[in-house]
Structure 1
């Protein structure tokens, strides 16, 4: 039987891959994460089939596309079916002690399925994302010291660097190269105030004793400072694993549920829009002696592949209802084939959009028909234009039409297989946007 390691999943909320040194970022935001990558395997193209947090982590646990498991947005009435596959109960049945240090359990019950221990350091706080990595680590390391003698699965959900970007004081100025972040003449954040989340930020964490923060570069530097603070926390966990003598028999996974926009496409410090800054996330796996060190995978992978990969790693049968594909042979070097040639992503929180991504191109379809000001159809050449700055719909209409037809065909076929009548983006739309408009007395 395959040796069954302990498994630790370091799940970081709102961490875009290209703001880490190991993914080519110039600022020194991530020395501990970079070291983890040097000691293990890094996936260069891990993609999110859904954003933001609820649908993304549901996809991680179930290994199903969001159209299948039904959780396509924050809010709404959808609930995960009892019969849906779920990673953690399978680990529990296999003899693992299971623990989540996470506050999502109080939001949706299925995030707690299969866990013997559910630790929520922010239980009595109104804003779950205010829990710091220090607080999470204190609880996680305490649990590790008590239960490391038996095979365990430990899931830690870090909220740094999610907004509000409020790192400890010693981190705040690490990366800011400007002069006065509250300069009233600086207009770089004015567009941010047009969005509901921007209004909230303006009236809360962007207000300082010195005045209202007005410099977008300063806010971006705060995001990087949050990553550096988180990175120090990741280092604490790795040190604890080493000190407890668990290194050789512990598979550590670092992943994220989605990234963050730093003003790209007019999206200010938020995570909507199916662009690379939001759907391209880090993935690193380290298991000394079992996984090679310093290897980078160029294959296109998605979050739904992680659970099947973990199950294969410990010798368990992958349920047929899981749609993701194990890439364990890629991680070990046993095979160089695998991954996907197409990834289909969906968002129904602030926008109602589908995307089809191939090796070279991405096509984005807006079910709101561009009502938020974004294009109804978008086509990007990710090789020539990795920042997705030039919409090629008019320049390459045939390719755009072909990709739209392929996307619509996939959606229709999958809906038919699931016994569903209509695309939920049409029936439900952008749920948080609709809720906000309703509260404003505006018809959606």
Structure 2
């Protein structure tokens, strides 16, 4: 069995057609999901990119592997095995086409072939799916007779949303994104991100945008763009005769907020728009087309799932649960009754999510001036528009006590005494001015 593991950066589940979005953003991913297993509720326990990928590679929660933020000074312990190493030990030829090594070197561990396409780019986010595929497709053809694990990472839906013109058809033709009648874009100018976005993105849109929905439509267009890129990979598997014995796994590292919760076109905040990501698996011989699987699952389940699929031993220290039995239809049991997520890049927060509710706890004030405790009824209020923490303070106390106990146990198991959100964060939030200055110099 070959394995192709695809991560699309900043891919929010609810903006895919197969997850209920009304616009046709994802025909290829819809078909992929329909041919295998689609997990309806997969969540990122750590955001953004660095913690999320580290979790996927190690099968450990961020509290355990200790990578809780983007741009932090803590390195992954070399004793912790990562997925490519474990598959290499199983006899797989391992390859990646990505530039995540530019972020943290452990994201390139275990690869015999590491192909980084970002050398000519001043900003790694501008690497296109065409550039990824121009390297990945020849590699697949050259190694078609080997048992391989190939990792592909696409940046497309990440800011700046600058899709090719042919994909920019998600905004109503009769509507003018520059009209003075609109005011929905104005609040972003009060955000600390405005300076960077103005220089690297908004000034490239042909005028002064006034309608936030226009920017959101460009996000949809980026998804449609990368969907076509993924189609080329799947077509290559078909053309080489590899598709029948290749496990294709696709997820996103985190989602994206368009303008909800005063978060404009970014991925901080532990709301559903940010932590709910797609997860789908296809193997024509082993995974039946079974529709939607509803248990709550997490990024940390991906590594043990791929190891079991490959017939490799799952290290006892891995905290994730293999989803292979559910994906192949051997069992309908699995998943989690609680998902704990964290962030420490722009703001330091923990969240505990049950089947029906979510509590978000701030470790220190954030620049959105949100309350220190947020409780949402996900059944009555799936968009998390109404914080009921003050009304349901007893439930807040119960969930917070459960969360703090979970954190304390995790720290004790890891031999650490302090909450890493306090000791490591807030990396970008506190270094905003210097980080922004460095980005401007690179452009």
Q: TM-score when scaled to structure 1?
A: 0.96
| Runs of at least 5 residues in structure 1 that lack an aligned partner in the other structure | none
The 2-side partners of 1:292 and 1:418 are apart by 39
- Match for residue 223 of structure 2 among 223, 227, 240: 227
Aligned mates of 1:394, 1:366 — CA distance in 2 = 15
Between the aligned partners of 2:341 and 2:297, the Cα distance in structure 1 is: 12
Q: 2:257 aligns with which of 242, 246, 261?
A: 261
Runs of 4+ more than 4 Å apart = 437-441
Displacement of 1:198 after TM fit? 2.8
- Residue 81 of structure 2 is aligned to residue 81 of structure 1: no
1:149 equivalent to 2:145? Answer yes
User: After the TM superposition, which residues 169-184 of structure 1 pair with which residues of structure 2 at under 5 Å, given as runs?
Assistant: 169-177=165-173, 179-184=175-180
Is 1:10 the counterpart of 2:26 in the alignment? no
SS across alignment from 1:217: helix
Alpha-carbon shift at residue 101 of structure 1 (Å): 0.4
1:336 aligns with 2:332: yes
In structure 2, the CA distance between the partners of 1:334 and 1:370, relative to structure 1 (3 Å rule), is: same
- Residue in 1 that maps onto 2:283: 287
State the number of aligned residues: 437
The change in CA–CA distance for 1:229 and 1:93 in structure 2 (over 3 A counts) is same
Please, which of 373, 380, 385 is the counterpart of residue 376 of structure 2? 380
Does residue 307 (structure 1) correspond to residue 303 (structure 2)? The answer is yes
Residue in structure 1 matched with residue 360 of structure 2 by the alignment: 364
Structure-1 residue corresponding to 2:313: 317
Post-superposition offset of 1:203: 2.5
Contact 1:292–1:333, Cα closer than 8 Å, also in 2: yes
Contact 2:428 2:435 in 1 (8 A): no
- 1:250 paired residue number: 246
Equivalent-residue separation in structure 1 for 2:260 and 2:83 (angstroms): 34
In the alignment, is the contact (CA less than 8 A) between 2:69 and 2:424 conserved in 1? no
1:53 corresponds in structure 2 to 49
Equivalent-residue separation in structure 1 for 2:413 and 2:204 (angstroms)? 53
Contact kept, 8 Å, 1:186 with 1:214, in 2: the verdict is yes
Q: Does 1:138 align with 2:122?
A: no
Residue 208 (structure 1) shift = 3.7
Instruction: Measure, in 2, the Cα distance between the counterparts of 1:438 and 1:36.
Output: 42
- The 3-state SS of whatever aligns with 1:140 is helix
Post-superposition offset of 1:175: 3.5
Aligned equivalents of 1:21, 1:294: Cα separation in 2:
17
Match of 2:347 among 351, 358, 382: 351
Between the aligned partners of 1:343 and 1:209, the Cα distance in structure 2 is 39
Q: Is 2:62 aligned against 1:66?
A: yes
Residue 426 of structure 2, aligned match among 419, 425, 430: 430
Deviations 1:13-46 (A, max 9, x none): 0000011111011000011110101111000000
Q: Secondary structure of the residue that 1:392 maps to in structure 2?
A: coil
Alignment correspondent of 2:37: 41
Distance in 2 between the 1:90 and 1:357 partners?
31
Query: Could you say what secondary structure the match of 2:231 adopts?
Result: helix
CA-CA distance at 1:236 after TM superposition? 0.8
Offset of 1:327 from its aligned partner?
Answer: 1.3
How far 1:380 sits from its partner (Å)? 0.6
Residue of 209, 220, 234 corresponding to 1:238: 234
SS in 2 for 1:283: strand
1:393 and 2:410 matched: no
**Bigger shift: residues 371-380 or 350-359:** 371-380
Report the Cα distance in structure 1 between the residues aligned to 2:345 and 2:313, rounded to whole angstroms.
34
With the length of structure 2 as denominator, give the TM-score of the two structures.
0.96
SS at match of 2:200: coil
Tell me what 1:27 maps to: 23
Contact persistence 1:43–1:299 (CA under 8 A): yes
**Cα deviation code 1:285-337 (max 9, x no counterpart):** 00002101142110000000000011111211100121111111111111111
Give the deviation of 1:188 after TM superposition.
1.4
User: 1:107 offset after TM fit, Å?
Assistant: 2.1
- Distance between the aligned counterparts of 1:346 and 1:132, measured in 2? 29
Asked if 1 retains the 8 angstrom alpha-carbon contact of 2:268 and 2:343, the reply is yes
Q: How many angstroms apart in 1 are the aligned matches of 2:53 and 2:380? A: 31
Shift of 1:440: 9.2
Aligned to 2:94: 98
